[in-house]
Chain A
Amino acid sequence: MEIPYIVNARKDTGLFNAKIAIWLFLASEVMLFGGFFSAYVFMRLGADYPWPERTLPVLPGLINTFVLIGSSVTVVFAWAALKLRNWRQFQIYMWITVICALIFMVLKGVEYNVKFHHQAVRLKDYTVLEGHLAYIDGTKIEKNRIKLELNPGSTITYNNLRVHDAWVEEILAEAKAAGATLKLAAEVKGAEGFSDADTIYFAKDADLTVELLDKFEKAHIKARNHNQKIRTQALRDAWKVAEKQNPNKSNWEYSDKVSIDQEAIKSKLLTDIPAATFVADKSFQISFKPRDVKEGPEQSKLRDDTVINAKLLPSPMDFHYLDAIDFQYLVMKAEKKGIKPEVAIENSWLLKNDPFAREAWAWHQANVDELKKRLIKDYGLDEKGNPNREPTHKELYRIGWKEFAKYGEETHKIKLSVTDKLKEEFMGPNYKARNPDEKESNSHDSHEEVAHGDSHDRVTFPHLSVPREQIGFASKFTPSWNTYYAIYFTITGLHGLHVVGGAIVLAYYLFFGRRMYEENPEWLCNRVEVGGLFWHFVDLIWIFVFPILYLM
């Protein structure tokens, strides 16, 4: 059996199979990305926070645009070369195409990487701060974590139906490092009146291990299993009796009178062991991501229902480098309440507590005044005497890292080389070069001194410690930070996967196409044509992605 129209087109439709298929596939891809683009529109129109405008580095995006457009051209050249049966030329053009794809992905990778290491936090008063968290020993970035301290006598209670083993191991590792142990708080034995009365299941002082918790789970499930059968049977018997007593009645009429005789079956049941409590003998500290723990001063609860009776330690977020202060959200909230933006900003926790921020803000205000004057000069006033153009909210209420950099250059005469400046366009702020006076290995204990201390140090990006109670929501610049970053990562990520997929297919033709070229060059032509159509589509998507995510 032969599948027809693989190589040559069917004459009345004028199409070979794969060409129909790729156009259909692209139609469905249009609908897929259409779904994401509509999501973008929905998110942006419905945003109840200041949508981040022009927040991504434009230069790498622009380069990527031209790289992709260029590769779309070369893929056509490669196809044409193949049509002319010029293998060498095909190879050259295909190489260029594949290399373009590589460049695209590398630039994208750099862009992603910067985001993944950039921290943002929204304070309770809706001030937004951005920057890098503190370094513990020069390299390791301290995470945003809730710290708990267990003291002798502190307990951890596990839910035997659901234990996240990795956390158990984390806690055990911390305990071991501090020389502490966690032991079963009390003997677990069958309860009085039950069939297993006085059976000792777990002896007191058993060491906490993942295996022990597994045994607890097994014992608990076994008891539930056993009891379930007995209770089910008892309930069934009760219903049989009730049905006899209530002939010609619907079961809802007497359902509240049917119940299990608890005392009668008690002696047949096994004891449930729903939880296991362990007690610490020495002090040690543990920490969890804020998302995973509902913390309280004396008792905290983990996501998997583990209850920890431990002291909550101060868990501030320490910015090693603060590189943006954003009052847009705060102003948005203030305006809704009818509070003047300036008043709200003056009353913000940040300006009240951080002298550096106050200075920077004053400097920013002066800049804004200059900008206002310049706008009047450039665009004039309307007939009522109001300026035709006024600064945007972003210009008014946000000090971004570039403005911080300018502030540093003006006040501290910090100069950067041209290469360093170019690098900043791709990698974001160059902290080392812009904080020249910084001592080499900063332990994070020194932050307070720097933050509130000598502002005459040549520092562009200051330290700042934000106490936990001030934090509303914190995240890296990942999809969780806001819906803008969510849609940005989702669309570009999916587009990136398309680039990778397309490049793999094209590279396959380049490296493994020779045999087919010799046996049936027209077939290879068809394949390259179809691959090229897909590649154009990938390019086309980027043409839409670039403006809506980078420029608008």
Chain B
Amino acid sequence: MSAHAASSNSHDHSHDHDDHHHNPGFLKKYFFSTDHKTIGLQYGITALLFLAFGFYLMMVMRWSIAYPHQPLPDWMGCFLTDNWKARWLVDGKVSGETYNMFGAMHGTIMVFLGIVPLGFGAFGNYVTPLQIGAVDMAFPKLNMMSYWIYLAGGLLMCASFFMESGAAKSGWTNYSPLAGFADGQIVNQWLAGQTQWLIGLVLLITSSLLGAVNFITTIINFRARGMTWMRLPFFVWAMLVTGFLLLLAFPPLEAAGIMQLMDRVAHSSFFMPTGLFTKSEGLADLSGGGSPLLFQHLFWFLGHPEVYVLLLPAIACVAEIIPVNTRKPLWGYKSMVYSVLILGFLSFIVWAHHMYMTGMGDAVSTFFQTTTVLISVPSVVIITALLISLWGGSIRFTPPMMWACAFIPMFGIGGLTGLPLAFNLVGLHLHDTYYVIGHFHYVVAPGILFGLFAGVHHWYPKITGRYTSRFLNHLHFWPSLICMNVLFFPMLVQGMAGFHRRWYNGGDAYLAKAADSANVFGVIVRDYIDLNIVMSYGAWILAVAQIPFIINVLFAWKKGRKVENDNPWDATTLEWATPTPPGHGNFTFDVAVYRGPYEYSRPDCDEDYFPQWQAPNKTGEESNEKETH
């Protein structure tokens, strides 16, 4: 099936998709646009803003951990209004309740409002249709709706900071029964932060559902002529799997969210056990009979695939950037594709490794321990293929490539520190400690975020027609790389020493001040508590290190060095065949694909790259290529 046939049947009916003939107004062009590229940028900018907000929450938390008895410094508190401080700070110090609020919202914002929209929403939206040679997404209006629902959900969650109840405060996992009775003093439960969190969550799930349906349909039906499955760039495969994960893993959490919402507003007891007694409410006036374990199951049924929803877009970016900058094909493309499919499947059956300590039973634990160990196989295949792809390449250390190169070892540390956690027995010691925090932050922050930074620099010339500054990138990259490790490596150490992840005062309450104290744990805490200050300095400097990035991205928009042509990196995939920046409808010629996505340094070509869209020359050099339809 070809694009010819597609356009031939489009004349017999009229509908209003072709709005590129007349100039759309400002609002329609930049806000209510149905163009996948504009929506991708909207996602990207919004997600980066949320990431910055999440980062800010983290800094306040790190202050409380490092200096639990000192007032929040002015430069940190200046974002908060006086009335807010009067309500939520005690003599300028962060109280436990406020810390919980920040902790819950930091996790929620980073995962649901930051990384997923940046990876899937921004890069997926911008790049996927371009890479498969499509004019747009299959459902442009749904795509727009998806963004606006995401924004509404995100703002709703964050707005609850300013309500009487404050924002959600039961961890980003929102475990019942804690989340069930939090904010119980608020009579109108619809106006409680904890409830707003749930409503926001349901909106976010709706948004990602629309996105996922759109992506998968687009990838199945909108591939250009000749774009067979095994000619898809790895990026597209990763997006396809991510789409399926979002499509199938999110609904059970939506079910859990709706049930928890019922628990809050209709006073049901889905997750509230019999005889629940709390300090704030006394014996709960509820029927009881519910199961807190059920919430955890439903949550982690999403929660684990969610990890791969975060990860795959980053790996996808890196897998595109490495071949371009090593000038050689991606090593083991097919095994990477199969691995990512297996990874997607396995990610649905590992969720309960988050729940070893719930007493769900030995047999269940053993099963999930086994599948968890299994899932490391495809992950390792992918990361190894990326690593081997570097071998023997003539590497160009462009800004995207620096980030991509840093991604591999950083994600490697994140992945390898996860292996011990797969085991029940180790879970006994490490569950809910800073080791776990260190592990998944290594995956998400220096891992995934680095991958996404790589993506920003890689596609920036396509989006704007200008390069980002190499100098500013160095200023961003090196401090970030160092500070990430200063920030997260001590967590692994503290975790093994037994530091609990939810200590708002960094262990101060458990401390034994005398060296010969009989409080053995207190002595251990004392030995490692000063690492808190080291990590906090890591965080402050990391914050400063992001400023060059912001300057770079804003400044290069108008002042960066202009690209020489539409394919500045000499890349092979279809997004580089479009004008710069691509207009509405993307391509100016009838797209056809003749070969695989990573044809670099072919001995039979003059150039060291052979784009997918370039028709084979007459000498029969493409004779080994199969006939395509």
Which residues on A are within 8 Å of B, measured CB to CB?
A: 1-8, 10-13, 15-17, 20-21, 24-25, 27-29, 31-36, 38-39, 42-43, 46-49, 122, 161-162, 164, 166-167, 221, 224-225, 228-229, 231-232, 235-236, 239, 250-253, 255, 258, 260, 290-292, 294, 303-305, 473, 475, 478-483, 485-487, 489-490, 494, 519-520, 523
Contacts and interface: CB of A to CB of B under 8 A. Distances in A.
Given A482-B287, A486-B269, A258 B69 contact: yes
A487 B287 CA distance: 13
Interface residues of B, number: 91
Contact of B247 (A12, A28, A235, A520): A28
Given A21-B217, A164-B188, A228-B85, A519 B258 contact: no
A39 B140 contact: no
B529 A43 contact: no
Most buried by B among A10, A15, A28, A166: A28
Given A43-B270, A482-B289, A2 B17 contact: yes
B247 A4 contact: no
A236 B86 contact: no
B138 interface: yes
A229 B71 contact: no
A257 B530 CA distance: 19
Given A13-B220, A24-B247, A162 B185 contact: yes
B306 interface: no
Highest count of chain A CB atoms <10 Å: which of B249, B255, B259: B255
B508 A252 contact: yes
B185 A49 contact: no
A7 B184 CA distance: 52
16 contacts: A4-B7, A4-B10, A5-B222, A12-B1, A20-B216, A20-B217, A28-B213, A28-B250, A31-B252, A38-B252, A122-B287, A255-B69, A482-B287, A483-B269, A486-B268, A490-B268
A79 B1 CA distance: 27
B9 A24 contact: no
Given A17-B139, A17-B221, A479-B268, 7 more contacts: A4-B10, A34-B252, A35-B254, A225-B83, A251-B67, A303-B185, A479-B262
B3 interface: yes
A480 B83 contact: no
A486 B262 contact: yes
B70 A251 contact: yes
B262 to A, nearest CB: 5
Interface stretch (B87-95, B334-342, B365-373, B608-616): B87-95
B564 interface: no
Residue picked from B1, B3, B297, most chain A C-beta under 10 Å: B1
B5 to A, nearest CB: 7
A11 B5 contact: yes
Contacts of A236: 70-71, 92
B136 A490 contact: no
A303 B187 contact: yes
Interface string B157-190: 0000000100000000000000000001111100
Nearest to A292: B187
Interface string B1-32: 10101110110111101111000000000000
A487 B258 CA distance: 11
B135 A480 contact: no
B516 interface: no
A480 B269 contact: yes
Contacts of B139: 17, 21
8 A-B pairs with least C-beta separation: A35-B255, A232-B92, A4-B6, A486-B268, A32-B251, A35-B252, A1-B585, A479-B268
B86 A228 contact: yes
Contact of A479 (B85, B266, B282, B584): B266
A486 B15 CA distance: 46
B290 A483 contact: yes
B289 A483 contact: yes
Contacts of A11: 1, 5
Contacts of B362: none
Contacts of A49: 274, 287, 289
A291 to B, nearest CB: 5
Given A478-B266, A479-B266, A167 B1 contact: no
B562 interface: no
A369 to B, nearest CB: 32
A490 B262 contact: yes
B220 A20 contact: yes
A231 B267 contact: no
Interface in B248-307: 248-256, 258-259, 262, 266-270, 274, 282, 285-291, 293-294, 297-298, 301
B92 A12 contact: no
A7 B7 CA distance: 12
Contacts of B511: 252
B83 A17 contact: no
Contacts of A229: 82
B629 interface: yes
B91 A231 contact: yes
Interface string B57-92: 000000000011111000000000011011101011
B287 to A, nearest CB: 5
B513 interface: yes
B212 interface: yes
A7 B13 CA distance: 9
Contact of B212 (A24, A161, A304): A24
